[in-house]
Structure 1
């Protein structure tokens, strides 16, 4: 480059350099993909919905597609709409069953303490209602924990398990995750969705209080419990998960016999929204669809 001052350059070139500089600053200040919280997808078109009276509650479920069954389970505070991108990908070759976990979304709750065993029993009750002897499971966060609970306690009912962003001990969770900006935005959004979907729209705080007692002490599985899992398991997470320690995700994969490990780049606890293409590719490949 010559020693000319920028003021002597043609006006068009100065404008171009200014625009480039502004773009560079904006790009530097922009959120990384793993810091974003994309919109909650709409329910999948064509879902046949219903409610099952199970274990003292009304549990919302939906079914769509044809083929071998796959149950899709959402994370804590959320609802089944969050995984609609995955349902869209799965329905081409599978009968997909989505469930709003007890107290979440359109499902009701009772006064019994929350527990992953109880929530897994709810899933089995829906399976029985739909006459499903055995099914694969795709779960996110609490849904992934429920999937692993099913594999531990109902091995004959579970095929493959995709466990995204699970923890199997309470110390696998990062302290103060609720203060993370992305996670705090998620909690706020979940409250708004609860008010719109729930049969008890003004009880979000009570619901969070009730389920928080479970999170404080569960899950707390031993190595021996994980080593008894016979279902093929794919352990997945984002490389910037706000909630789950990477070391803990690696521990789960190393402890469950034959488990695979997939870390999705530039994503977080919400990778299924941030990069659904990569998430779905890994999910479908594991299930044998790719």
Structure 2
């Protein structure tokens, strides 16, 4: 793994923090809500064996200070697209988890010409994919919860790296507000023009059946794949449901790293005689 280089890119009116690790074909890696690039530390060495990994701290998260606009997947996707231009990257792969998976999806939807392949992990595509009680919990994410989160690893990392640690309550308000909006990205998924893999844990926030439905929007799971893969989805899409994982540990799992690399760097099938 190469030495870490943390830098800022002035794009879209935001001072976006990113780090570059490793060498090889570029891969942009996007963290989950209330997290930062640090959350991928367990799998970073695996990913950097084959890729130049660009870890981004999204708006208001990690080392990227907030600006006066809502936390919105589409706006953050435009930030990532501007970073791709800023770095002069040629169609990097974009991999995201949870909120970052939603951002990664929107990068591919809004800027398909800038993306090689897309991996969107633990990011459900419709509000109603998760149980009502979970949505109720999400509704309690606001500044008032800041005090209760002081002992969590999420807050402790934020306090350590954020340019303005006192912004944490504001971040909670904005993330809570973002989660309160109903959404349905089914048509965005159906229209994807880059090879896409949807990933989820088998006990994720949304059930595996939701990701199977989303895979069908990508022409997946509708027929036998065939001996030579001729029946696989036409766009080169894939689905991975990872055993033994939840929404809260998938991002650091070797399984997540393994399926991501298998999708991004496929090796030809070898048949034993």
Same topology, TM > 0.5: yes
The gaps in structure 1 that reach 5 residues or longer are 1-43
Which SS does the other structure have where 2:116 is aligned?
strand
* Structure 1 residues 265-276: aligned runs within 5 Å: 265-272=243-250, 276=253
- Cα drift, residue 246 of structure 1: 2.7
- Tell me the residue number matched to 1:250: 212
Report deviation, 1:75: 0.6
Give me the CA root mean square deviation: 2.4
What is the aligned residue count?
A: 241
Would you say 1:288 and 2:265 are equivalent positions?
Answer: yes
Secondary structure at the counterpart of residue 194 of structure 2: coil
Q: CA deviation at 1:289?
A: 5.5
Q: 1:174 aligns with which of 131, 146, 152?
A: 131
The CA distance in 2 between the partners of 1:197 and 1:270, in whole Å, is: 21
The answer (yes or no) to whether the contact 1:234–1:260 under 8 Å persists in 2 is yes
1:75 aligns with 2:75: no
Counterpart-to-counterpart distance in 1, 2:64 and 2:25: 25
Corresponding position of 2:90: 133
Structure 1 residue 269 displacement after superposition: 0.8
Structure 2 matches for 1:1-290, cutoff 5 A?
Answer: 46-177=3-134, 188-217=152-181, 219-221=183-185, 223-241=186-204, 243-257=205-219, 258=233, 259-272=237-250, 276-288=253-265
Range with bigger deviation, 171-180 or 58-67: 171-180
SS at match of 1:253: helix
Contact 1:115 1:218 (C-alpha < 8 Å) held by counterparts: no
8 Å Cα contact 1:166-1:249 kept in structure 2 = no
Q: Secondary structure at the match of 1:202?
A: helix
More helix by share: 1
- Give TM-score, length-normalised by structure 1: 0.76
Q: Is the 8 A contact 1:140 1:164 kept in 2?
A: yes
The Cα offsets for residues 63-116 of structure 1, whole Å up to 9 and x where unpaired, read as 121111110111111000111233211212211111011100110111211211
Q: Per the alignment, do residues 187 and 229 of structure 1 end up closer, same or farther by CA in structure 2, a change over 3 Å counting?
A: farther
Structure with larger Rg: 1
Hey, what's the Cα distance between the residues in 2 that align with 1:123 and 1:229? 17
Quick one: distance in 1 between partners of 2:242 and 2:50? 24
- 1:131-180 Cα deviation digits (max 9, x unpaired): 11311011101111111111111111111111110122222233333869
Equivalent-residue separation in structure 2 for 1:72 and 1:131 (angstroms): 17
Q: What is the CA-CA distance between 1:185 and the residue it aligns to?
A: 8.1
